[in-house]
Structure 1
Amino acid sequence: MTSAVSAEMAAAIGSVYLRDQSYPVSASDIRRWAIAVHWPDGPPARFLSRTVEKLVAPEEFNPFAWAVASRSPDPEEFGLREDEMIAADCQERLLGISPPAMSTGLFGAYSVSYGVPICEGDSIASQSSLRGYSERESRRGLLLTTTLEDRWINQRGEFVKSVVREIVRY
């Protein structure tokens, strides 16, 4: 079996390929997210009440959904448009290495671990890294699985969330 993982790809394992910083999370951000998630029913009363000092976001809240305060590196420097940031080879391109010559990419496994909740006023930093590659033969030929991790921390350095996902290419 010939490997699809080049020496430069193997050397990049463990590398951070993207850093994002959110804008501070507002009470309005949390309310709008809760309204959207619970549609067509109304959100739980705790999202509309002002009896709490600070609103706590639902676990699935994404402070990067509409805008990012800062992003490094700039994907445009690598010829990537915003809509290509989910492409199967964007992590290699952002690391400045050649992706494997595979024409099809699919999302595979996805797992999430939660830490402290996101609260009104928090600012979240996301760090995306390349965790590894694995290969196996299939009926379609060589299958390459790429494992990626997005790790979020708040402005106090507390762990908020980790998303580990796999991309399958052939």
Structure 2
Amino acid sequence: MFVLICATLLFSVRGIHAETGASVWGRQYCEAGTFCITLGVADITAEAGLCVVIPCSFSTPAAFKPKHIVWYKCKTSNQRCGDSDMIFHTNKHSTKVQSLFKGRVSLLQPDVSQGNCSIFINDLTESDSGAYQLRVNGLLDGISDGFTYSERAVLSVKGMESYNKY
């Protein structure tokens, strides 16, 4: 059952068109002119013990070459997440990723240049509830730079429901 649910989630994210930022189910938010993010839905509800996909695509100015994707999770009341809130970094050598998220978060498309920032989180716990924020690090005209999108996805994880088997 778990595998079936996760497989369904993975295939549902195929509606993203990263090259255009358009989505059949999301809304695009643009900042600083040409840094755009499309999130599938603003509020996502999932069940503890299962998995979730946070659907996401991004675009940047032509002069910006994305190299790394960083995801943060913080309280919904925080306006911006900080380094201590890091849950995923495409640089495997990053030491700032929270230990509770190591090995549980992955990108659906590992090639950052494709503009797909969708993440898959498995073994959900209620403490995974919060606001998820994206940062893209790269090169702007050959100089190291990064951009943190202010639009965030909010995840609410509910306790696992018990089902009676008849």
TM-score by length of 1: 0.29
Bigger radius of gyration: 1
TM-score by length of 2: 0.29
